[in-house]
A and B are shown apart, each in its own frame.
Chain A
Amino acid sequence: MDKLLKDKKAIAVFVLPAFILFTLILFIPICQSIYYSFCDYDALTKPEFVGLKNYKNLMIDDTMKIALKNSLFFLIYSCVTQLIMGLILAGLLTNIEKGRNFFKNVIYLPCVLSSAALGLLWMFIFSPKLGINQILARFGIEGPLWLMDIKGYITLPMWVIAFVALWQYVGQSMMLYMAQISGISKSLYEASYIDGCNRVKSFWHITLPLIKPMVGTAMSLNAIGSLKFFDLIFNMTEGGPNHKTEVLATHLYTQGFKYFKYGYASAIGTVLLVLCLIMTFLINKLFKSENYEM
């Protein structure tokens, strides 16, 4: 292995496929998109350079403000709830003997299902004429308009969609934490019990510090995933009512594909890219820790 790593040609040959792929389908489109964000471009005629016009328009775009607010809400909600729920579930499942695999699979299952299908399913569940409200009506309770209410700074449909997203993706965080927890040596826990720790204390003082690097990784994945979140929202509300559940990705989609404003959509995409980079940087700084031998 050492011999192979010293051979620079071999390294180049092995890295080349990934490098070409990365350049072709990621790096070049990103650079193109950044260029288009400074252009008036409808994808049918040649892009015309307009400087910062698209970015200036973004600043006064009311839907952009809603989309940015909702995306940031989604980011915070997902990071916090998936961290807490993921850790709780991982902690519980690593400590049970019977049914661990069953519950692991049940909780992880929504992650592998199609978001489009799940979006439609939950849309039916929250529809006023079907699902939850019909059950509530049997008990004489008038349910709220889950996906239509527009009151409040963060509207009810956003909370509902965020809840569904938590249900869908918490399994992923749980699996990551479980993988890290299962790598911790049992001798550490045994030593802590001898020293008088109970399970909660050992979780707090042994498990949490040792899985800190994984918390950073899972949170980065959550943050990027929530910023570019699209499918559930599009299938449950299409950004409505009246753009109240619009997020950056749905706004980008509408501007690009509905109005042929690819330059403007690219500017939204660039904002999204910058936000993702900032969040990844911040989370990496926050969760920077040494790797311990486990």
Chain B
Amino acid sequence: MKKKVLSVLLTVAMTASLLAGCGSTGAADSAPAADASSDTADTSADASSDTAASGDVEEITWMFWDDLDATEDLISKGYKEVIDRFNSDYEGQYHVTPITTNLEEYYTKLNALVASGETPDVFIVSPGPNLTTYVEPGVAADLTSYLDADWKGSFSSDAVFAQQTYDGKIYAVPLNIAAACVFYNKEMFEEAGATVPKTWDELIDACEKIQAAGHTPITISAGTAWCLSMLAGYLCDREGVDLTKIESGEESCNNSKTIDAANKMIELSQYFQPTAAGDTNDVATAGLYNGEAAILIQGSWAIGQINGENPEFEQKCGVFQFPEIPGGNDPNRVIAKSDSLAMSSTTKHPEAAIALMKYFTDDTAQKYTAEVGGKIPVTKVEYDASKAPAQLADVMDIFTNASSTFGFYNESLFSTEAGSTFDDNMVAIYLGEKTPEQAFDDLDAWYAANKK
């Protein structure tokens, strides 16, 4: 009898322990965001947990696409300073723990957290379909009421909120603006006798000379598809493609301008590094600052990475605007993009989250953005241009002289998947898997099947 009782007790204990293992606890329910940080990602080492242990401290999480401790990127280092400053100034009141991941994995991990009901309190997001993904189902909070006169008035203009506004409501706060430009190695250009190209033919001529001098003319990433897609986007725009008409269905993807743009991309691809098909964005960018190639077509966010990884390269690095295609579109149009912060609509600490967002847009952070990071600030802050990276002056010239800006092609379509489909087809053209006609026909077919 005793044995039976004992065996039943043991079985009950075993069952209870098994169930305890797979169930979620009440504590997890009450602090989902804090839990997410410890389970899912690398947390910043110096986001001290001492203060978080205190019951009165409001603990929030902030998700970002770079490792704050390992990074050499100057913009990421600036964000780390903001986090440290916030935690220090609000010690005992608020505490933020960063959730960090690499850029390629960022949205996948963020989406996993969102789907499991553990959305970070504040998260970085690109405007366009990525932000729409979080606005439409109500994941991102409406920030309009938080943007009081003081805070909103500190921004350079209301136009900086254009891509973050849906039906008159603002769902994200921009942190900086970057323009897509062409970075080049001045020494290699000089050695090859090449001049800064203003037109398509001059670009091809410069590539020819650089190749003849024994250097790789262009470093680009097709492994990170949006990098190649950015080039394709520029070529399409320069050829005069009207993306809004394609997006609205008025024009087919397969038209003479897109085909010409794709053929030009094929022509230019003979000057790419041989490993472009699989190289990631980081590897391709390293190709420029390590002196392996002469040209990199990239957003001005790369300045922080270039100067952070190889400070000596700053003086060798020039910037020019993507060349004109004669007979095509206005050559002063520039691809621009901003990093933005969104707040979770389910956050239990909106005041703490807003306080953090204000730290990212205060004068200290915005001055750093320009003077160290090399990005264009979004506020009216006055910064010392002589302290800023050498490349920023060129970027500012391009940006201020731009007749208009437009978004990345893959971020200007109706969904993130539509953008990825565009990217994939551009890579397929580059790899020779599809002819331009096939690729754009496939895009038309995909849009017809998937656009709601």
Listed from nearest, the 5 A-B pairs whose CB atoms lie closest are: A148-B278, A44-B137, A43-B115, A257-B108, A17-B15
Dominant secondary structure at the A interface: loop
Q: Which residues of chain B are within 8 angstroms of A150 by Cβ–Cβ distance?
A: 277, 431, 433
Point out the residues of chain B lying under 8 angstroms from A186, CB to CB.
Answer: none
Evaluate contact between A241 and B18: CB separation under 8 angstroms.
Answer: no
User: Do B111 and A14 touch (CB < 8 A)?
Assistant: no
What 17 additional pairs, Cβ within 8 angstroms, besides A13-B11, A45-B137? A13-B7, A16-B15, A17-B15, A17-B18, A24-B22, A44-B115, A44-B137, A44-B138, A128-B275, A148-B278, A240-B278, A241-B278, A242-B424, A257-B111, A257-B115, A258-B108, A260-B115
The contact of A258 among B19, B22, B416, by CB within 8 Å, is B416
Contacting A145 at CB < 8 Å: which of B111, B137, B225, B278? Answer: B278
B212 within 8 A of A: no
A242 and B431 contact, Cβ closer than 8 Å, known pairs A16-B15, A17-B14: yes
A40: min CB distance to chain B, Å: 10
Interface size range of chain B in the complex: 35 or more
CB <8 Å contact, B15 and A242: no
- Is A42 at the interface (CB under 8 A from chain B)? yes
A259 at the interface (CB under 8 A from B): yes
Cβ–Cβ < 8 Å partners of A257 in chain B: 108-109, 111-112, 115
Partner of B278, one of A16, A24, A237: A237
- The docked-state distance in angstroms from the alpha carbon of A145 to that of B277 is 9
Q: Whose C-beta in chain B lies nearest to the C-beta of A234?
A: B105
- Given known pairs A17-B15, A148-B277, A262-B115, the reply for A243 and B223 (CB within 8 Å) is no
B22 interface neighbour in A25, A44, A128, A147, Cβ under 8 Å? A25
Complex Cα distance A14/B225, Å?
54
Are B115 and A259 in touch, CB under 8 angstroms?
no
CB of A13 within 8 A of CB of B22, answer no
- Complex contacts, B393 vs chain A, CB 8 Å: none
In the complex, what residue of chain A is closest to B114 when comparing beta carbons? A44
* Contact with B427, one of A17, A238, A242 (Cβ below 8 angstroms): A242
**Residue of B whose beta carbon sits closest to that of A133:** B275
Provide the bound-state CA to CA distance between A14 and B8, in Å. Answer: 9
* Secondary structure call for the B interface: helix
**Cα separation A254 to B104 with both chains bound (whole Å):** 12
Q: A21-B18, A145-B277, A259-B417 are in contact. Are A14 and B431 (CB under 8 A)?
A: no
Within 8 A of B (CB), among A25-67: 25, 42-45
Q: Does A20 contact B (CB under 8 A)?
A: yes
CA–CA, A25 and B23, complex, Å: 10
Task: Give complex CA distance A240, B275 in Å.
Answer: 13
| CB of B40, distance to nearest CB on chain A (Å) | 12
The residue in chain A whose Cβ has the minimal distance to the Cβ of B23 is: A24
Q: Are B11 and A16 in contact (CB under 8 A)?
A: yes
User: In whole Å, how far is A9's beta carbon from the nearest beta carbon of chain B?
Assistant: 9
Complex Cα spacing A25 to B21, Å? 11
Kindly state whether residue B33 has any CB partner on chain A within 8 Å. Answer: no
Interface residues on A, range: 20 to 34
Contact B278 A20 (CB under 8 A): no
Q: B133 near A260 (CB under 8 angstroms)? A: yes
A241 and B277 in contact, given A20-B15, A259-B417 (Cβ under 8 angstroms): yes
B274 to chain A, nearest CB (A): 7
The answer to whether residues A148 and B275 also contact, given A24-B22, A240-B223, A242-B433 and a CB cut-off of 8 A, is yes
Sample of 5 A–B contacts (CB below 8 Å): A43-B115, A241-B427, A241-B431, A242-B277, A260-B133
Could you say which residues of chain B place their CB within 8 Å of the CB of A241?
222-223, 277-278, 427, 431
Given A25-B22, A148-B275, check contact A242 B225 (CB 8 Å).
Answer: yes
Q: Is the CB of B115 within 8 A of A20?
A: no
Residues of A within 8 A of B114 (CB): 43-44
Cα distance, A21 to B275, chains bound together (Å): 48
- CB-contacts of A1-24 with B (<8 A): 10, 13-14, 16-17, 20-21, 24
Q: Complex formed: what's the CA distance from A14 to B133 in Å?
A: 47
State which residues 1-30 of B face A: CB under 8 Å.
7-8, 11, 14-15, 18-19, 22
B19 A20 Cβ-Cβ under 8 A:
yes
**Is A260 a contact of B274 with CB atoms below 8 Å?**
no
Residues from chain A with Cβ under 8 Å of B107 in the complex: 258
Q: Does B139 count as interface, using CB distance less than 8 angstroms?
A: yes
Tell me, yes or no, whether B246 is within 8 Å of chain A by CB: no
A129 to B287, CA, bound (A): 11
Q: How far is the CB of A158 from chain B (nearest CB, A)?
A: 14
Nearest residue, chain B, Cβ from A242: B427
Distance between B225 CB and nearest chain A CB, rounded to angstroms: 7
> CA separation between A258 and B433, bound complex, in Å?
24
A239 to B51, alpha carbons, bound, how many Å?
42
Q: Which residues of B contact A253 (CB under 8 A)?
A: 108
Specify which chain B residues have a CB less than 8 angstroms from the CB of A238 in the assembled complex: 104
A149 to chain B, nearest CB (A): 8
- How distant is B231 from chain A, measured CB to nearest CB, in Å? 15
